[in-house]
């Protein structure tokens, strides 16, 4: 099976990565079922990357239905250490405009129906720190690459993750604005939490498609507006990803690389044998 250090999860509108060479399409089996689609592994600007369309080619999975555990596990199985996530989001701030890009540094979880851990129902408990939900090192690389790519990019800000598939009511949108959040979308969680459990660095290119529903002078968000603006941002996102691939450090010094260390609470003797086997990719270096 081919290996890649860098993983890219494409959001709405980003279903493939042009410019990749030596492409190999891989189907990865996981304990959590099949990923959203086969993973495309190939070279981009001299770096090997693994690309996975979050919603599947043809956009077959709603935000709540995305098999996120299978997706993150499959990327881990291919050797991925860093994930660049591309997300379509709405702006909650006057100075963050459609077609801008935000590299957020915080998350607020408003989802209701998603499994947030690899360990749920597995007879294993781990409590990981999540004060910084995005890898600060990878986020800084993303931001600098976006600046160099000529994007109108904002560094930092809180990303509200809502359940979907409906967009916000105006009351909700204004509530989130009162919290000081920058953007709202449907897909950064549980990806960020699962990436942390998998000890993978995770950062987001949040592509602004609209003003959600709070902006009285603009048409309220609908799928036509969102998709049209996202398509305009796709080329910029691809350019940024190519530049990021050139700048990835050889070794990781961030806390992401050892996030599980000392944070598994369950007595190893009490962890079911099947769990040890199925999750050896994640916990094998800590639990024998």
DSSP string, 35-64: -SSPEEEEEETTEEEEEEETTTTTT---TT
Backbone angles phi, psi at 159, to 5 degrees: -105, 115
Q: Identify the CA nearest to 62 among candidates 12, 108, 24, 23.
A: 12
Q: Is 210 a catalytic residue?
A: yes
Q: Is 105 a catalytic residue?
A: no
Q: What is the DSSP letter of 85?
A: E
Three-class DSSP category at 24: strand
User: In Å, what is the CA distance from 274 to each residue of 122, 151, 263, 270, 271?
Assistant: 9, 47, 20, 11, 8
Element containing residue 155 per DSSP (H, E): strand 153-155
Give the Cα separation of 199 and 242 in Å (integer).
23
Residue of 37, 212, 267, 278 marked catalytic: 212
- Tokens for 45, please give them: 């600007």
User: In Å, what is the CA distance from 90 to each residue of 67, 197, 257?
Assistant: 23, 27, 31
Specify whether the CB–CB gap between 211 and 184 falls below 8 A: no
Residue of 24, 210, 235, 267 marked catalytic: 210
Enzyme catalytic residues: 210, 212
């Amino acid at each position: 099976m081919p290996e890649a250090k860098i993983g890219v999860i494409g959001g709405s509108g980003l279903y493939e990565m042009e410019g990749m060479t030596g492409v190999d399409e891989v189907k990865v089996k996981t304990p959590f079922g099949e990923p959203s689609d086969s993973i495309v592994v190939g070279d981009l600007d001299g770096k090997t990357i693994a690309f996975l369309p979050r919603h599947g080619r043809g956009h077959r999975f709603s935000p709540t239905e995305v098999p996120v555990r299978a997706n993150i596990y499959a990327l881990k199985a291919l050797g991925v250490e860093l994930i660049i996530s591309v997300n379509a989001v709405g702006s909650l701030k006057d100075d963050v405009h459609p077609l801008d890009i935000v590299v957020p540094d915080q998350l607020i979880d408003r989802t209701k129906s998603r499994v947030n851990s690899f360990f749920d129902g597995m007879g294993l408990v781990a409590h990981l720190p999540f004060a910084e939900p995005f890898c600060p090192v990878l986020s800084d690389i993303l931001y600098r690459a976006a600046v160099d790519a000529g994007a109108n990019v904002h560094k930092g800000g809180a990303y509200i993750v809502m359940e979907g598939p409906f967009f916000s009511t105006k009351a909700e949108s204004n509530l989130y604005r009162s919290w000081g959040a920058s953007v709202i979308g449907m897909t950064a969680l549980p990806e960020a939490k699962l990436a942390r459990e998998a000890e993978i660095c995770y950062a987001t290119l949040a592509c602004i498609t609209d003003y959600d529903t709070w902006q009285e002078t603009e048409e309220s968000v609908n799928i036509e507006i969102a998709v049209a603006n996202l398509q305009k941002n796709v080329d910029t996102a691809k350019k940024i990803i190519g530049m990021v691939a050139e700048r990835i450090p050889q070794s990781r010094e961030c806390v992401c690389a050892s996030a599980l260390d000392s944070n598994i609470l369950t007595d190893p003797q009490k962890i079911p044998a099947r769990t040890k086997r199925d999750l050896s990719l994640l916990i094998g270096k800590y639990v024998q």
